[in-house]
Structure 1
Amino acid sequence: MGEYYIQEPGSEEAKGPYDVGRIADLIEAGKASETTLYYDEDREDWLPLMECEEIRLAVNPVQKPLSLRPKDISEDSLNHDDEHLPELKVDQMLAAAEGNTDETRHLKKKHRAAETAAAISLPALAVIMLMAAIVDIWPNVAVISTIQEDGDYGLLISHPLLVVGVADLFLTLCCILSVTDAFPLIRFRMMLGFGYFTYIFWSWGDQTMMIAVAVSSFAAWFCTITLNLYAMIACAVLGIVGMGAVAVMTVLG
Structure 2
Amino acid sequence: MPDYYIRTPEQDESRGPFNISKLLTLAEAGQVTENTLYYDEEKEEWVPLGLNEELMAQVFPKKESIKLRIGHDEEKEGSEEDSGEAGGISVENMLKAAEADTEETRHLKQSQKSFERAVALASMTLGLMMLLSAISFIIPHLDAIQGASNEGTYGNLLNHPFFLVGMFDLIMAVLLLLSVTDIYPLIRGRGMLGLGFGVYVGWALSDPLLMLAFGLGGAGVFLATISQRLSIMLLSIVMGIGGNGALAYLALNDRFAEFYSSILLSLFTQ
With the length of structure 1 as denominator, give the TM-score of the two structures. Answer: 0.67
Structure 2: distance between partners of 1:203 and 1:124: 30
Does residue 151 in structure 1 map to residue 133 in structure 2?
no
Structure 1: distance between partners of 2:5 and 2:54: 9
Residue in 2 aligned with 1:248?
249
Structure 2: distance between partners of 1:82 and 1:98: 22
Does residue 232 in structure 1 map to residue 233 in structure 2?
yes
- SS of 1:157's equivalent? helix
Q: After TM superposition, give the deviation of residue 87 of structure 1 in Å.
A: 2.8
Matches within 5 A, 1:103-122: 103-122=104-123
Structure 1: distance between partners of 2:181 and 2:108: 24
Cα deviation 1:102-134 (Å, max 9, x = unaligned) = 222221111111111112222221221111001
Q: After TM superposition, give the deviation of residue 54 of structure 1 in Å.
A: 8.7
Q: After TM superposition, give the deviation of residue 226 of structure 1 in Å.
A: 1.3
Q: What code does the residue aligned with 1:186 have?
A: I
Matches within 5 A, 1:20-169: 41-42=40-41, 44=43, 55=54, 58=57, 83=71, 87-169=88-170
Q: After TM superposition, give the deviation of residue 189 of structure 1 in Å.
A: 1.2
Query: Compared with structure 1, are the counterparts of its residues 116 and 156 closer, same or farther at alpha carbon in structure 2 (3 Å cutoff)?
Result: same
Identity %: 35
Q: After TM superposition, give the deviation of residue 222 of structure 1 in Å.
A: 0.8
Structure 1: distance between partners of 2:147 and 2:206: 31
Structure 2: gaps (5+ residues): 7-37, 46-51, 63-68, 73-86, 255-270
- SS of 2:228's equivalent? coil
Q: After TM superposition, give the deviation of residue 223 of structure 1 in Å.
A: 1.0
- SS of 2:149's equivalent? helix
- SS of 1:218's equivalent? helix
Structure 2: distance between partners of 1:104 and 1:60: 16
> In the comparison of the two structures, how many residue pairs are matched?
195
Query: Compared with structure 1, are the counterparts of its residues 59 and 150 closer, same or farther at alpha carbon in structure 2 (3 Å cutoff)?
Result: farther
Runs of 4+ in 1 over 6 A off after TM superposition: 59-63
Structure 2: distance between partners of 1:231 and 1:60: 28
Structure 1: gaps (5+ residues): 4-38, 47-52, 64-80
Structure 2: distance between partners of 1:157 and 1:236: 32
Residue in 2 aligned with 1:191?
192
Structure 2: distance between partners of 1:163 and 1:43: 30
Residue in 1 aligned with 2:77?
none
Structure 2: distance between partners of 1:249 and 1:101: 52
Q: After TM superposition, give the deviation of residue 234 of structure 1 in Å.
A: 1.3
Residue in 1 aligned with 2:23?
none
Structure 1: distance between partners of 2:111 and 2:221: 23
Residue in 1 aligned with 2:78?
none
Query: Compared with structure 1, are the counterparts of its residues 113 and 57 closer, same or farther at alpha carbon in structure 2 (3 Å cutoff)?
Result: closer
Cα deviation 1:193-229 (Å, max 9, x = unaligned) = 1112320221111111111101221121111111121
- Please give the root-mean-square deviation of Cα atoms over the aligned residues, in Å: 3.3
With the length of structure 2 as denominator, give the TM-score of the two structures. Answer: 0.63
Residue in 2 aligned with 1:181?
182
- SS of 2:226's equivalent? coil
Query: Compared with structure 1, are the counterparts of its residues 110 and 242 closer, same or farther at alpha carbon in structure 2 (3 Å cutoff)?
Result: same
